[in-house]
Structure 1
């Protein structure tokens, strides 16, 4: 068997925070996933080891999956050769599509309404356009202030791109955009949609690179040449991370947290 293994490139986790639990301080690690990935448990185990090594805190891990189809990823790795040689690793996997519409709608955390388009998978697939229209209407009638509603609606439109076709999204959100004057919402959605296309892996890196550059250009107007060069050198995983976190990148220099 080989005794040399490929170098594992630097990875940027989606979110790690220090928190207090009944057992004392812990590091909470969250990963957001829009597609099934058979490599997920290996990635999560590497994250757990690096977080524990860095902070010496027990790590509570969650993968939040909001894809179109049911989650098929395993959330554990295990084997037992003896009491001295064993692996029993697990993490919490949440399939947002299994959360009911009413459960999320009635949550006290109203900013989470942006996830309405990807909850309740069976009802969503059965009702189609009417389901998405209800999502937009419930966000509009929420207790959020007008500016927060714009942000939540924009995010809801982007999440809708993961599970609805473009025609349905345009029909439902066009009127909403006019009502709230969300000038860039449709533009963001059309760009983001390209990063969610399903098909052969060939050309995926080029497609995501184009999506990343266009999203950053729309948000920051101008991208320094050195960042453009580096973006073109990134793999699919890094590009997807930038796209998924576009709302949290408030300064072009924050790309340093993602680029390899």
Structure 2
């Protein structure tokens, strides 16, 4: 199952978010090398609510299997019974070994059993287990060490203690991790969208909106036709003005002007209005100083912060 997010705020599922990345999820959460053959689709007649589980037929290092990932955003004491029903339904229909993983990404610590066990008399026994993963107990660094940028969308749900103590700062760190990933702008956008949805589990909407609006502004500036025009214009202007001193110096001037335009645009987006004295100081900065501001734009939350980068 993939729970609806709190208050049905998002009519979306983890299954849908990672529709093109199931192998990455299986590899990370199941610690299992698996090649997906197809999606499995079964009805659960004895389950009260129809769920949208991620159920896959896979080739694994141990042979064929039905791999079932169950995503849970709240603690549910009945989860072992539901997991067992799923396992028996899958086994009955497909006659495959069933490998199950419960992935919990709630705000509180996980408080759910990882199986069922009882013994009654000499012949009646049940010893049923599945893999249970508390995403909040996994560190950001563990996810980053996978070098699988698809999984970076899960960063806002990691490090429960850190994100509870400093939620806004933690989310900014996650966003920077995604922005610095060695992937295309389009892939960054996709990952950021997923991360934004997950952040909605524990952060206020206004904080999420502010952080991701800044991110989108940066991405738009980098790839927009307007940015390219500014860059081209700046380079051409720099070349023309620096012709007497050489093309190399002109190119440097063009880059500097482009950086200055980008810094001012981001700061105006962030603070709505930048006082004239700050604008004048920014216009006097060299390429290195302007680059520092761009690199640290998410750490600059007040004009006082900005002063650390100004003469």
Which structure is larger by alpha-carbon Rg, 1 or 2? 2
Alignment match, 1:103: 142
Match for 1:17 among 56, 76, 89? 56
Q: Report the alpha carbon displacement of residue 58 of structure 1 after superposing the two structures with TM.
A: 1.0
TM-score between the two structures when normalised by the length of structure 2? 0.54
1:84 counterpart = 2:123: yes
Contact 2:75 2:111 in 1 (8 A): yes
Alignment match, 2:184: 145
Alignment match, 2:163: 124
Contact 1:96 1:118 in 2 (8 A): yes
Contact 2:137 2:160 in 1 (8 A): yes
Contact 2:47 2:82 in 1 (8 A): no
- Which stretch of the first structure deviates more once superposed, 84-93 or 164-173? 164-173
- Which stretch of the first structure deviates more once superposed, 155-164 or 6-15? 6-15
Alignment match, 1:229: none
Q: Report the alpha carbon displacement of residue 88 of structure 1 after superposing the two structures with TM.
A: 1.0
For 2:66 and 2:185, locate their aligned partners in 1 and report how far apart those are by CA, in whole Å.
34
SS class of match (1:42): helix
Alignment match, 1:65: 104
1:29 counterpart = 2:92: no
TM-score between the two structures when normalised by the length of structure 1? 0.64
**1:166-177 equivalent positions in 2, closer than 5 A:** 166-177=205-216
Aligned length: 176
**1:179-258 equivalent positions in 2, closer than 5 A:** 179-181=218-220
Task: Give the CA RMSD over aligned residues.
Answer: 1.8
Contact 1:114 1:156 in 2 (8 A): yes
SS class of match (2:143): helix
1:54 counterpart = 2:82: no
For 1:7 and 1:138, locate their aligned partners in 2 and report how far apart those are by CA, in whole Å.
43
Contact 1:13 1:47 in 2 (8 A): no
For 1:83 and 1:57, locate their aligned partners in 2 and report how far apart those are by CA, in whole Å.
28
Tell me, which stretches of 5 or more residues in structure 2 are unaligned? 1-44, 221-311
Alignment match, 1:162: 201
Match for 2:80 among 38, 41, 63? 41
TM-superposition CA deviations, 1:79-100 (whole Å, max 9, x none): 1013410111111110100111
SS class of match (2:75): coil
For 1:9 and 1:103, locate their aligned partners in 2 and report how far apart those are by CA, in whole Å.
37
